[in-house]
Amino acid sequence: MTQKTYTLGEIAAALGAELQGDPDVRVEGLATLQAAGPGQLSFLANPAYARYLADTRASAVIVAPAMAEKSATNVLLLDNPYLGYARLSHWFDPAPVAPPGVHPSAVVDPTAVIPDTACVGPQTVIEADVELGDGVVIGAGSVIGARCRIGAGSVLRPRVTLAHDVVMGARCHILSGAVLGSDGFGFANERGVWHRIAQIGRVVLGDDVEVGANTTIDRGALDDTVIGNGVKLDNLIQIAHNVSIGDHTAMAAKVGVAGSTRIGRHCVFGGASGVAGHLEIGDQVQLTGMTLVTGNLSDPGVYSSGTGAESNRQWRKNAVRFRQLDAMARKLKELEKKIEG
């Protein structure tokens, strides 16, 4: 593979950054401040790593203007260094480019619409009436159910499963093991016996949605499960049937959202958070890790639940006190009444 190299002048122009240094210095890769060497570019986004700035061996560093004087090497000035790094990361991505065409081992229904610009990998199954947009990549071993629609430029990594009637916008990115459109957990109970309910809704994704490895998004029971534009879902997330997630919301790994909950735009959910069903979560709500939501949250802001780790001995003492809270509260009320009397 040919090594890609760029001059600092080219990089500065592409990022719209102010360059302080030699525009002819060539960059062939990215690295952290601690690990970078000559020919590599680094960045400073987290102030906790500022102590490495003066001694880094990187050929250049992307920094905010206020940090420029603390660097002993060439600097590219951006108000958001992390965004600059994010954009440059694609320049040096070693992932192979999928060639267009349908692999001979793929099983493709004759009614499927596959443009010449799409790539269908080995041992992929594409069922009836599927439509792929231009430049779509379907990784090896994936299954695309009947009547699915996948927008232009979307990429499905190997072993992705789309059940029937999943609709996906443009430029979506679905990682390996994800399952979209599986049946939601719907059963009716009669005298202790559970009877399965057919899930007849769809899963609908907007544009620029990313779904992590082994994440599952259940189809709607009646209405659709809807994932808005720009939503980012990490690995091992469960989105239940009829959930709606607003544009540009992000969720870290192991979040679970129960059925029919509506989540607003620009929310951020920390890892292992849980949201009960049939709730309304407003815009710009942030949940710290392992937060459990059991009621509606209409106001923007940061919400937390649970307690941090402590020694087992202290935790056991606190657990005993927790069980005594109701009795303590009753005694406190009695004391307040006596004082008022």
Residues identified as active-site = 241
Are 71 and 63 in contact, with CB atoms under 8 Å apart?
Answer: yes
Are 184 and 166 in contact, with CB atoms under 8 Å apart?
Answer: no
What are residue 321's phi and psi, to 5 degrees? -60, -35
- Token duo for residue 104: 């001979």
Tokens 């997330």 locate to 237
Find, among 154, 264, 150, 158, the residue nearest to 208 by Cα: 154
- Edge-first strand order for the sheet with 131-132 is 131-132, 149-150, 167-168, 203-205, 225-227, 244-245, 262-263, 280-281
One-letter identity of residue 159: R
Distances (CA, A) of 10 to 23, 73, 78, 279: 8, 17, 15, 49
